[in-house]
């Protein structure tokens, strides 16, 4: 009975490198959300994806960040040319198909990204 | 959805005390209000999803009420236990399911 899985749990990158964060939703869930927690701040929405589609990316920075949720495989949050300000905990959540606003979202353990 | 405010920011109570926290949110364009419990080093865990004005939900010693007309929700914990120590987050959701989290109320229950 696996919940939401994220890997890696910890990721260290140097400035200018790429970071790839993976999220496997609860089995059977087709809705994935990414949230970010910057140091000393609360959880902030980044992007909402359904299989092969981006539904709401209003919280994504306009540059360097992208997300996908392919038909097969995990959802990927990709950060190109990382900067120190990208250091944060990135959480993925998944939900079922009862209606987006009313769905309980199940959170993964997060990936803690440190940019040196 | 712009401002979600939770109060108090932190709370220290003795084991056995009952306590409550407040979440206030814009009342326009309301879809649902989510409550989460977040223990240190763990993932946020859903407590309640509330949708109807006047709704009241209960899970064990924890209950919540919702007023969508005035834009607030209360979370109550009856007879607090040390294992209730956590940060409690509220989050109204948009029509797409985007959760807008408050800063949370951090509860510390002393044995």
* Residues of B in Cβ contact (< 8 Å) with A107: 36, 43-45
Q: Which residue has the higher pLDDT, B29 or B105?
A: B105
Average predicted confidence (pLDDT) for chain B: 94
pLDDT at B88 over 80: yes
- B75, with CB counted inside 10 A (0-12, 13-18, 19+), is buried
Nearest to B106 by CA among B91, B90, B86: B86
DSSP tally for chain A: helices H, then strands E: 0, 11
pLDDT tens-place string over residues A12-64: 999 999 999 999 999 989 999 999 999 888 999 999 999 889 999 999 999 99
pLDDT at A115 over 60: yes
pLDDT at B71 over 90: yes
Average of pLDDT values for A77-93? 97
Comparing alpha-carbon positions, the chain B residue that sits nearest to A91 is B43
Whether residue A95 lies within 8 A of chain B, CB to CB, comes out as yes
CB atoms closer than 10 angstroms to residue A37 = 16
CB atoms closer than 10 angstroms to residue A107 = 22
Whether residue A105 lies within 8 A of chain B, CB to CB, comes out as yes
* Residues of B in Cβ contact (< 8 Å) with A46: none
- Residue in the structure block whose two tokens are 């209000």: B33
pLDDT value of residue B1: 52
pLDDT-derived band at A103 (thresholds 50, 70, 90) equals confident
pLDDT-derived band at A2 (thresholds 50, 70, 90) equals confident
Identify the H or E element spanning A114.
strand A111-115
pLDDT value of residue B96: 85
Q: CA B87, CA B22: separation in Å to the nearest integer?
A: 13
pLDDT value of residue B72: 95
SS3 sequence of B88-99: EEEEEECCCCCE
pLDDT at B36 over 90: yes
Are the CB atoms for A25 and A94 separated by under 8 Å?
Answer: yes
Per-residue CA distances from B80 to B25, B45, B69, B73, B88 (Å): 26, 18, 30, 19, 14
Whether residue B31 lies within 8 A of chain A, CB to CB, comes out as yes
pLDDT value of residue B9: 95
Q: Is A87 helix (H, G, I), strand (E, B) or coil?
A: coil
* Residues of A in Cβ contact (< 8 Å) with B103: 42
Whether residue B39 lies within 8 A of chain A, CB to CB, comes out as no
pLDDT value of residue A95: 92
Q: How far apart are the first and last CA of chain A?
A: 36
pLDDT-derived band at B53 (thresholds 50, 70, 90) equals very high
Distance of CA B72 to the CA centre of its chain: 10
What are B109's strand-pairing partners? B13
* Residues of B in Cβ contact (< 8 Å) with A35: 99, 101
pLDDT at B59 over 60: yes
Give residues 43 to 72 of A whose Cβ lies within 8 Å of B.
Answer: 43-45, 48, 55-56, 58-59
Average of pLDDT values for B36-45? 93
Question: Any residues with CB less than 8 A from the CB of B93 and at least 6 apart, and which?
Answer: A100, A101, A102, B31, B32, B33, B34, B99, B100
* Residues of B in Cβ contact (< 8 Å) with A109: 42-43
């Amino acid at each position: 009975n696996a919940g939401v899985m994220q890997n890696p749990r910890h990721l260290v990158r140097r400035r200018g490198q790429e970071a790839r964060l993976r999220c496997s939703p609860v089995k059977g869930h087709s809705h994935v959300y990414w949230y970010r927690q910057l140091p000393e701040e609360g959880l902030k929405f980044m992007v909402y994806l359904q299989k092969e589609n981006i539904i709401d990316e209003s919280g994504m920075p306009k540059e360097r960040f992208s997300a996908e949720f392919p038909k097969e495989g995990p959802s990927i949050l990709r950060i190109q040319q990382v900067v120190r300000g990208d250091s944060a905990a990135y959480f993925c959540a998944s939900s079922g198909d009862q209606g987006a606003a009313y769905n309980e979202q199940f959170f993964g353990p997060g990936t803690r990204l440190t940019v040196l | 959805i712009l401002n979600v405010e939770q109060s108090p920011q932190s709370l220290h109570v003795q084991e056995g005390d009952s306590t409550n926290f407040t979440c206030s949110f814009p009342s326009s364009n309301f879809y649902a209000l989510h409550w989460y419990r977040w223990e240190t080093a763990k993932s946020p865990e859903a407590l309640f999803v509330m949708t109807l004005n006047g709704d009241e939900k209960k899970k064990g010693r924890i209950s919540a009420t919702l007023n969508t007309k005035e834009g607030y929700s209360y979370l109550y914990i009856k007879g607090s236990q040390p294992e209730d120590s956590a940060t409690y987050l509220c989050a109204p959701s948009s029509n797409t399911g985007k959760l807008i989290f408050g800063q949370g109320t951090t509860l510390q229950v002393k044995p």
